[in-house]
C-alpha cells in the first residue's frame, strides 16, 4: 500500500512553453502533497506544500506564478511549470501524506529538460 505515481517520468519541452506534472496517490487519500526539486548530486529542496481544496504554501524563493500547484482532489496534485526556461531543468519529486501521519510517500520523480 501507499503507492504514489508521477506522470510523465521524463519530459522535454522548448523554452517558453508550459509543462504539467501529475502526482497521484494510488491506494490512499492524501490530505497533503509536497513538491520537491532536486538538482544533480544535491538533496531535495521543498518547493511547496498543498492541502486538498486550498491554496498551496510556497517556500521562500519559489515563484508561485511560475510553479502553479493544484490539489483538486485527495488523490491528485499537479505542478505546472509555466514559461519554462533551461534553468528550470531538474528532477521534480512529489510526495503524499495521509491525514494524521508524519510519513511521506514519494513518487518516482519527473525529469524535466527545457531546451
Residues near other proteins, by CB under 8 A: 4, 6, 32, 34, 42-44, 46, 49, 91, 93, 95, 97, 102-109, 111
HSE on the CB side for 11, CA within 13 Å? 25
Distance in Å, CB of 115 to other proteins, minimum: 19
Nearer to other proteins, 11 or 46 (CB): 46
Give the alpha-carbon dihedral of 29, 55, 111, 93, to 10 degrees. Answer: -50
Distance in Å, CB of 14 to other proteins, minimum: 22
Distance in Å, CB of 38 to other proteins, minimum: 9
HSE on the CB side for 74, CA within 13 Å? 7
User: Vertex 41, ends 104 and 46: CA angle to 5°?
Assistant: 35
Nearer to other proteins, 45 or 82 (CB): 45
Amino acid at each position: 500500500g501507499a503507492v504514489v505515481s508521477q506522470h510523465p517520468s521524463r519530459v522535454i519541452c522548448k523554452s517558453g512553453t508550459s509543462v504539467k506534472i501529475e502526482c497521484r496517490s494510488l491506494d490512499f487519500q492524501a490530505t497533503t502533497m509536497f513538491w520537491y526539486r532536486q538538482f544533480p548530486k544535491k538533496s531535495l529542496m521543498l518547493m511547496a506544500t498543498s492541502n486538498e481544496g486550498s491554496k498551496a504554501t510556497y517556500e521562500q524563493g519559489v515563484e508561485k506564478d511560475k510553479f502553479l500547484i493544484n490539489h483538486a482532489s485527495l488523490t491528485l496534485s499537479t505542478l505546472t511549470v509555466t514559461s519554462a526556461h533551461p534553468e528550470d531543468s531538474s528532477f521534480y519529486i512529489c510526495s503524499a501524506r495521509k491525514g494524521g501521519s508524519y510519513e511521506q510517500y514519494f513518487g518516482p520523480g519527473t525529469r524535466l529538460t527545457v531546451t
